[in-house]
Amino acid sequence: MLFAGAAALTVAGSGGLTLLHPTPAARWQIDDVALRTGDLLFRRTVSLEGLGVRAIDAAGRFSHVGLIVGHDVQGRARVVHACPPEQAGQTGVRETTAQDFVAGGDVRDAAAAGLPLSAAQGQRLAAWALQHVGWRFNADFQLSAPHALYCTELIWAAMRAAQLQRLPKLAHWSTPFGAREVVPMSALLALPDLRFLPQAVQRLTA
pLDDT tens per residue, range 48-92: 565 556 566 666 689 999 999 999 999 999 999 999 998 999 999
What is each CA distance from 51 to 36, 113, 160, 203, in whole angstroms?
29, 22, 28, 21
Q: How far apart are CA 126 and CA 131, in angstroms?
A: 9
Residue 9 banded pLDDT, cuts 50, 70, 90: very low
Report the candidate in 52, 64, 95, 58 with the shortest Cα–Cα distance to residue 1: 64
Do the strands 148-149 and 136-137 form a parallel or antiparallel pair, or are they unpaired? parallel
What is the CATH architecture assignment of 4-199?
A: Alpha-Beta Complex (3.90)
| Phi and psi torsions of 91, nearest 5° | -85, 165
Look up the pTM and report it. 0.86
pLDDT-derived band at 4, boundaries 50, 70, 90: very low
Report which secondary-structure segment, H or E, holds 100: helix 98-101
Q: List, in sequence order, the alpha helices (H) in 27-150.
A: 48-56, 98-101, 119-131
Query: How far apart are the C-alpha atoms of 75 and 69, rounded to whole Å?
Result: 12
Closest CA to 51 of 38, 67, 33, 63: 63
92-106 pLDDT, tens digit per residue, is: 999 999 999 999 878
